[in-house]
Amino acid sequence: MTEFLNVDGGTIAYEVTGLTGPLVVLAHGMGDSREAYRFLAPALVEAGYRVAAVDLRGHGESSVGWASYTRTAIAGDLIALVRHLGGPAVLVGHSISGGAATIAAAKAPELVTALVELGPFTRKQQIRLGDLRVAAYRRGATHLMGTTILGSTRQWAKYLDVAYPGVKPADWDVRMKQITAMLQEPGRMKVLQAMGKISPVDAGEQLGNVTCPVLIVQGSLDPDWVSPRAEGEAIVADLPAGLGRLKMIDGAGHYPHVQYPQQTLAAILRFLGGVRA
> CATH number, domain at 7?
3.40.50.1820
What is the tens place of the pLDDT at every residue in 76-120? 999 999 999 998 999 999 999 999 999 999 999 999 999 999 999
Structural domains of the chain, count:
1
Is pLDDT at 136 greater than 80 in this prediction? yes
Residue 175 lies in a domain: no
The residue segments making up the domain with residue 225 are 3-130+200-276
pLDDT tens column, 159-215 = 999 999 998 999 999 999 999 999 999 999 999 999 999 999 999 999 999 999 999
Question: How far apart, in whole angstroms, are the C-alpha atoms of residue 32 and residue 271?
Answer: 25
- Band (pLDDT 50/70/90 cuts) for residue 135 is confident
Q: How sure is the predictor about 276, in pLDDT bands with cuts at 50, 70 and 90?
A: confident
194 lies in some domain? no
Read off φ and ψ for residue 276, nearest 5 degrees. -65, -35
Q: Measured between alpha carbons, how far is 51 from 195 in angstroms, rounded to an integer?
A: 25
Q: Tell me if 260 sits within 8 A of 251, measured CB to CB.
A: yes
Neighbours of 53 (CB within 10 A): 25
Q: Is 46 buried (19+), middle (13-18) or exposed (0-12) by CB count in 10 A?
A: exposed
